[in-house]
Structure 1
Amino acid sequence: MSVAAAAAGKAGKVNRRLTFVRWVRKTHGWFGLWGALLGLLFGFSGVWLNHRNTMKLTLPDQKQINAQLELPDPRPQTIEAMGAWLQQTLKLDRGPNNIRVERARPVPWGERSGEGNARPLQQPERWLMNLGGPNHLVQAEYWVGNKSLSVRTTENGLVATLTNLHKGTAMPVPWILLIDTLAGSMIFLSISGVILWWETHRKRAVGITIFAVSVAATVAFAVSPLQL
């Protein structure tokens, strides 16, 4: 009975291991399918971004136009109102997808000694807005109190559009959340890939060596440029 019980326990352990491996393999495949298209997209744009500084790559078919827009009278009093006016003026499909307000503050070079109670020079409040999308990006800058605002319009070709998709430039929140799912998928695929290899290979010395060399090279190349 003890031998039979031991055999049954061993068989149950093997079955549980096989069930776990099948589940990991199946889930690995589904996660890979979910991120396949985004992985190809980010792989292409990632290679371009990775080499752009070393190889002095410039984005083809990218055009930039700088302009000054006169504001209406009365001027918009809030950044939201300014964004709505800019959307209407430029005839864009949607309003700003990113806004930022930099509060007024003393300028560093405005500190003057020996002037008693003289007020320091102030840098006025600055409004920054991004409108449009990854292929047609509008960046606006306004210093509160001015009668005009600066607008830079960038028309992007295919490669520049793909890199903006990669970086999330001018993309809405749903796209950011979608990319978060890709990041989660990559984390799972990395872990499940190691588990599958470990569970399906008995001779592991070569694999462990490759993994150790990969980790060492990654850490070495990442740490070497750091100013410690």
Structure 2
Amino acid sequence: MSENQAIKQKKPARRSGGYLFIPKKLQRPDILLWLRRSHAWTGFYGALFFFVLGLTGFYLNHRTAIMHIEGGTVKEVASLSAPVEPGLITSEEALAAWMQEAFAIDAEPSRGRGRRGGPVSFGGRRAEQAPVFTVSFRGPNAVITGEYELGANRVTVKRTNSSLLKALVDLHKVVGVNKLFILIMDTMAGAMMFMVLSGVLLWTRLHGPRLAAAGILGAVAVATAFALSGTLIGWAAP
């Protein structure tokens, strides 16, 4: 056998030390194979959601005035003043029920932001201001809002549609979704946490020196602490 063939057939030496965070008795081939496969299949299970969450998370990270990037748009597509019998609507609940029946809305209303009625001063005179009821039906793709002033014979209804990016951002924030979607997002959160933990366990054996890993994690922690130190607000009561 030639010297070159002997070099090719020589197996690379295994790194000593084993997996850093896995007990020695659990470093069996079957357990390690299960861990690798679970890590891979978990990533495949949530691949699409992970990408969308990363994309929308990028825009949510830039939604403030500092380094602002527009995360989608909304456009008003319909506005009307619908007739209603005076005295039929006496509360936000009644307004929501009327809108669900009149416009075949199957979503549940969000919390209203109406105006309380009561006495006000106008031109030096005391007057009674009627309450205003406001109800919104929110979904990732659109928002339908109804506004009614007690005693009036009209309900103002508006609909705004969201762009695809805005709809994805609202899905990230779990706005206007049902319980099933919330449960699906819970599984995605669990999948991400499992991938982080299993990835760290596998990384300690498969990639790079541990000193470099500690240096990377330390650098990220120090940079994060330094960035947060300039944003914390102090306050003391007088």
Relative to the length of structure 1, the TM-score reads 0.69
Question: Per the alignment, in what secondary structure is the counterpart of residue 88 of structure 2?
Answer: coil
> For residues 130 and 72 of structure 1, what CA distance do their matches in structure 2 show?
22
What is aligned with 1:72? 85
Structure 1 residue 129 corresponds to structure 2 residue 136: yes
Relative to structure 1, is the Cα distance of residues 27 and 170 closer, same or farther in structure 2, using a 3 angstrom cutoff? Answer: same
Relative to structure 1, is the Cα distance of residues 58 and 32 closer, same or farther in structure 2, using a 3 angstrom cutoff? Answer: closer
| 78-87 or 176-185: bigger deviation | 78-87
Unaligned runs of 5+ in 1: 1-12, 111-120
> For residues 134 and 33 of structure 1, what CA distance do their matches in structure 2 show?
25
What is aligned with 1:84? 97
Question: Per the alignment, in what secondary structure is the counterpart of residue 59 of structure 1?
Answer: coil
Unaligned runs of 5+ in 2: 1-22, 121-127
Structure 1 residue 197 corresponds to structure 2 residue 203: yes
Relative to structure 1, is the Cα distance of residues 155 and 198 closer, same or farther in structure 2, using a 3 angstrom cutoff? Answer: same
State the Cα distance separating 1:124 from its structure 2 match.
5.2
Relative to structure 1, is the Cα distance of residues 105 and 161 closer, same or farther in structure 2, using a 3 angstrom cutoff? Answer: closer
* 2:63–2:70 CA contact under 8 A, matched in 1: yes
2:27 corresponds to which letter in structure 1? R
Bigger CA radius of gyration: 2
Answer 1 or 2: which has greater helix percent: 1
> For residues 208 and 58 of structure 1, what CA distance do their matches in structure 2 show?
35
* 1:98–1:129 CA contact under 8 A, matched in 2: yes
Match of 2:27 among 10, 14, 17: 17
State the Cα distance separating 1:207 from its structure 2 match.
0.9
2:96 corresponds to which letter in structure 1? G
* 1:99–1:127 CA contact under 8 A, matched in 2: no
What is aligned with 2:184? 178
* 1:138–1:153 CA contact under 8 A, matched in 2: yes
State the Cα distance separating 1:90 from its structure 2 match.
2.6
Match of 2:46 among 35, 60, 71: 35
- What is the percent sequence identity of the aligned residues? 28
**What does the per-residue CA deviation read over 1:57-103, in whole Å, with 9 as the maximum and x for residues that have no partner?**
2634x3125655444344245544432321232343x1x33432679
Structure 1 residue 63 corresponds to structure 2 residue 75: yes
2:204 corresponds to which letter in structure 1? W
What is aligned with 1:188? 194
> For residues 146 and 198 of structure 1, what CA distance do their matches in structure 2 show?
70
> For residues 217 and 101 of structure 2, what CA distance do their matches in structure 1 show?
56
Relative to structure 1, is the Cα distance of residues 216 and 32 closer, same or farther in structure 2, using a 3 angstrom cutoff? Answer: same
Question: Per the alignment, in what secondary structure is the counterpart of residue 111 of structure 2?
Answer: strand
* 1:137–1:155 CA contact under 8 A, matched in 2: yes
Question: Per the alignment, in what secondary structure is the counterpart of residue 196 of structure 1?
Answer: helix
State the Cα distance separating 1:21 from its structure 2 match.
2.8
> For residues 58 and 51 of structure 1, what CA distance do their matches in structure 2 show?
8
Superposed CA RMSD: 3.5
**What does the per-residue CA deviation read over 1:33-70, in whole Å, with 9 as the maximum and x for residues that have no partner?**
2211111122222222323442452634x312565544
State the Cα distance separating 1:204 from its structure 2 match.
0.6
Match of 2:227 among 216, 221, 225: 221
